[in-house]
Structure 1
Amino acid sequence: MRDWLVGLAVAAAGVVASWAVLVLLARRLPPGPLRDLAAFLPDCLTTVRRLRRDPRVPRRARVAIVVAAIWLASPIDLIPEFLPVIGPLDDVVVVALALRYAGRQVPRQVLLDAWPGEPRLLLRLLGDAGARRR
C-alpha cells in the first residue's frame, strides 16, 4: 500500500512540475498568436469565475458559464488531453461557445471587465453577437 502512495505522490509531483515548466515557457513566448493561445484557457477560467459571481449576469448565462467550467474541470473529454495540439480542442470549443452565448445575454462591458487578457481576443470571440447587447 505504501509503494502505491509513493508512486501516486511522485506522479502528482511530476504533473505539477510539468505544469510549472509549461507556465514558465508560456511566459517567455514573444507577443503574438502563440502567446495569446497559451493564455486563452487561463483567461477563460478567470472570466468564468468572475462572471459566475457578478449580479449583472442573467441566470441563463450563468448556467452556461458554470456548465463550461464543469466541462473544463471534468477529466472526461471527447478528445484525450494527451494528444498534442488537438487535446484541449474540445475544451476550447465548449468555452468559446459558452462565452459567445454569455456575450448575447450579458452587456459587453461586463464581459470586458471580467476578461483578464487582451480585450481584442474577447471582442474577436464575441463578434457582432456581443455588440447587440450593451
Structure 2
Amino acid sequence: MAIAESMRTWARRIKRDAVMLWFARRHPDTPLLAKALCIFTVAYALSPIDLIPDFIPVLGYVDDVLLLPSFIWLAVRLLPHHVIQECRVQAEAWMEKEKAKPASYAGAIGIVLIWIAVLGLCWWYFYRA
C-alpha cells in the first residue's frame, strides 16, 4: 500500500505543478526562458493528444513517465522561489474549486502539426524523385 500511496501523491504533485506552471507563465517575475518553457510544458501537459500515442508499446508511456516530469522539473528550477510559492497556492486553489484539470487545445493543435510535419517529411523522404 505504501508504494501505491506514494505513486498517487507523486501524480497529484505532477498535476499540481503543471497547473502551477500555467499560472507562472503569466507571473511578471517569471524570466523569459522560464516563461517559454512553462508555455511549452503546459501546452504539452494539458494537451488531450499525446506526442507519442499510448497504444505504442513502452514508448507510449515514456512521455507520461519521463518526458513530462523532466520538463516540469526544469521549468520549476528556472523559476524564482517566490513565484513558485505564489503560483502553487493559486494552482491548489484553482484545482480545489474546479475539481478538474484544464485542457490546452493549442497544445493539441501543436502536437497535430508536429505529426503532420513528421508524416510530410517521411513522405518526402520515401517518395522523392
TM-score normalised over the length of structure 2: 0.50
Higher RCO, Cα 8 Å, sep 6+:
2
TM-score (structure 1 length as normaliser): 0.48
